[in-house]
A and B are shown apart, each in its own frame.
Chain A
Amino acid sequence: MEAFLFWIFAIVGVFCGGMVVWHRNPMGSAIYLVVTMLCLSGFYALLNGALVSVIQVLIYAGAVMVLMLFVIMMLNVQAASEEREGSLPVWIGAGVVGLVVLVKFALLLQYGKPPEAAEEFGTIQGVGAALFSTYVLPFELISVLLVVAVIGAVILTKRRAL
């Protein structure tokens, strides 16, 4: 069962990831990226990461990609005049380099099957316990970063000088 789900998520995820980069229209690329993120959420669920799986859908697929789709719609970039940049030899060269790097990774990463997971692994309680005890300083800094990002986004898009 797990193998079946893994291969489905892997094939769909890698195909949609490739289409993000290959598609001409930014709108189509955004939709393919949403599907890739949903496949990744499936991977996290297979790896016992229950909270990370739903957080990925909630924040990434549900908020960040909605924001990108909003901006794509507002900019209304015309796709008809857009040809794929870079000639075909450039893409083939990039593909070959990518394959070489991939083979190097495959030779390095030789891990086997993981041990049994603990009961509280990846649950809300587990993540919460780690987040508020060992990693509480990055947690507080992230909140500062979010405030800075909100202020920055508002200032950058104001029409009149602030």
Chain B
Amino acid sequence: MDVLIILIKAGLVVFALLNLAGLLTWAERKQSAIMQDRVGPNRANIGKLTLAGLLHPVADGIKMITKEDFIPEGANRALHTLAPAAALFPALVVFAVIPFGDTLHLFGREIPLQVASLNVGIVYIFAISSLAVYGTMLAGWASNNNYALLGGLRASSQMISYELSIGLSILGILLIYESAQLDVIVQKQGELLWGFLPKWGIFLQPLAFLLFLGAAMAENKRAPFDMPEGESEIIGYFVEYSSMKFGMFFLAEFVEIIIVSGLTVTLFFGGWQFPYLQATGFVWPFGWGELALPHLFVVLMQVGTFAVKVLIGCWILLLIRWTLPRFRYDQIMRLGWKVWFELALINLLLTAIIVLWVT
């Protein structure tokens, strides 16, 4: 029975992720259109019903499934087929440790709203995101195309350079909350600092938040760090892919946007915590009283809070993409090794000194 519950949770999470990724493709085009003062996608329709372009992801999906799927001549067939799967698998699996709600008491059974509560939660996230390099490298190699190979090497060296900064910037969070389990970190973000401020990560570690966001965007190969795919300037690593294999790369990129947003929300913005909402209801600070609420309503509010925060995070990431120009490749590498890495180390040192001084 427990295994069935875990499978249901995993299925729900993957379902939500894939649907949200499809919706994000529409959101990106619509938001970029609004920012650039144009109309955006509005042609895909059923009959006369356009739904403001919401049928465009459906049209994209149909296009990608029905295109011809070819493997270039002289390419390694097994690796060419394996690369999109190797790119999509880590993106979907990372969400297994992100909590999207507090424990749910249903029919006398406690159901933690998280697929797997690992003791080594954060290190698991680093491990899975370091597996994401294989998709790009194998795609570049297996295409039997010099330009794709160079694009693949560019992409993978950028990804492994920024993995370091991601790891180091999270260590400050580990020091403060004294646990690597993500549900414990989110629980501890419900406590109050100086009596009224929730202990969210952004208040305790602002520099780590900026470093983590930038490094995660670079790992995701997302503008302004999208030199490897560089849409209109340079050949990317998936140039020899068509139809659903390209669709899988595309989907992997958008699922990773949701993951970056989800991780940022969990570690720095309190996860599913609504300010001053405890398991029994609202508890206002400064002794202003309480407001008791039924359990199911509280859990629904917490899951809803998490969803809203993740959506706001995705919106901010899309906003950054369409605002900033792209970096040159040598600028990206110089930033990764000479600026981000040092700032993450300095942040870790300062955090360690402050934690020692306070306790």
List A residues at the B interface (Cβ < 8 Å): 1, 27, 31, 34, 50-51, 53-55, 57-58, 61-63, 66, 69-70, 73, 123-124
Known: A27-B76, A63-B160. A124 touches B120 (CB 8 A): yes
Residues on A with C-beta less than 8 A from B339 are none
User: Which of B79, B127, B140, B163 lies in contact with A27, CB distance below 8 A?
Assistant: B79
Please determine whether A61 and B120 come into contact, CB atoms closer than 8 angstroms.
no
Residues on A with C-beta less than 8 A from B123 are 51, 54-55, 58, 124
Q: Which residue on chain A has the smallest CB distance to residue B164?
A: A63
Q: Which residue on chain A has the smallest CB distance to residue B129?
A: A62
- Closest Cβ of chain A to B332, distance in Å, is 17
Residues on B with C-beta less than 8 A from A63 are 130, 160
Please determine whether A70 and B156 come into contact, CB atoms closer than 8 angstroms.
yes
List B residues at the A interface (Cβ < 8 Å): 3, 76, 79, 82, 118-120, 123-124, 126-128, 130-131, 133-134, 137-138, 140-141, 149, 153, 156, 160, 163, 180
CA–CA, A27 to B123, complex, Å? 28
Please determine whether B141 and A124 come into contact, CB atoms closer than 8 angstroms.
no
- Closest Cβ of chain A to B123, distance in Å, is 5
Please determine whether A61 and B76 come into contact, CB atoms closer than 8 angstroms.
no
21 residue pairs bridging A and B, Cβ less than 8 Å apart? A1-B3, A27-B141, A51-B123, A54-B126, A55-B123, A55-B127, A57-B127, A57-B128, A61-B130, A62-B130, A62-B131, A62-B163, A63-B130, A66-B130, A66-B134, A66-B156, A69-B134, A73-B153, A123-B120, A124-B119, A124-B120
Please determine whether A66 and B160 come into contact, CB atoms closer than 8 angstroms.
yes
- Closest Cβ of chain B to A99, distance in Å, is 30
- Closest Cβ of chain B to A16, distance in Å, is 13
Q: Known pairs A1-B3, A54-B120, A66-B156. 14 more at Cβ < 8 A?
A: A27-B79, A51-B119, A51-B123, A57-B128, A57-B130, A57-B131, A58-B130, A62-B131, A63-B160, A69-B134, A70-B153, A73-B141, A123-B120, A124-B120
CA–CA, A62 to B163, complex, Å? 10
Dominant SS among interface residues on chain B = helix
Residues on B with C-beta less than 8 A from A61 are 130-131
User: Which of A54, A69, A123 lies in contact with B137, CB distance below 8 A?
Assistant: A69
Q: Which residue on chain A has the smallest CB distance to residue B125?
A: A54
User: Which of B79, B119, B124, B133 lies in contact with A66, CB distance below 8 A?
Assistant: B133
Q: Which residue on chain B has the smallest CB distance to residue A126?
A: B119
- Closest Cβ of chain B to A63, distance in Å, is 7
Known: A27-B76, A66-B156. A50 touches B118 (CB 8 A): yes
Dominant SS among interface residues on chain A = helix
CA–CA, A83 to B127, complex, Å? 36
Residues on A with C-beta less than 8 A from B119 are 50-51, 123-124
CA–CA, A85 to B220, complex, Å? 42
- Closest Cβ of chain B to A46, distance in Å, is 14
- Closest Cβ of chain B to A11, distance in Å, is 20
Q: Which residue on chain A has the smallest CB distance to residue B178?
A: A125
- Closest Cβ of chain A to B69, distance in Å, is 22
CA–CA, A66 to B3, complex, Å? 34
CA–CA, A63 to B79, complex, Å? 19
CA–CA, A34 to B130, complex, Å? 13
- Closest Cβ of chain B to A144, distance in Å, is 18
Residues on A with C-beta less than 8 A from B134 are 34, 66, 69
Residues on A with C-beta less than 8 A from B131 are 57, 61-62
Q: Which residue on chain A has the smallest CB distance to residue B118?
A: A50
- Closest Cβ of chain A to B24, distance in Å, is 26
- Closest Cβ of chain B to A2, distance in Å, is 13
Residues on A with C-beta less than 8 A from B180 are 124
- Closest Cβ of chain A to B121, distance in Å, is 9
User: Which of B79, B133, B163 lies in contact with A31, CB distance below 8 A?
Assistant: B79
- Closest Cβ of chain A to B79, distance in Å, is 7
- Closest Cβ of chain A to B55, distance in Å, is 39
**Nearest 9 Cβ contacts at the A-B interface:** A62-B130, A58-B127, A57-B127, A54-B127, A123-B119, A54-B123, A50-B120, A54-B124, A54-B120
Known: A66-B137, A66-B160. A73 touches B149 (CB 8 A): yes
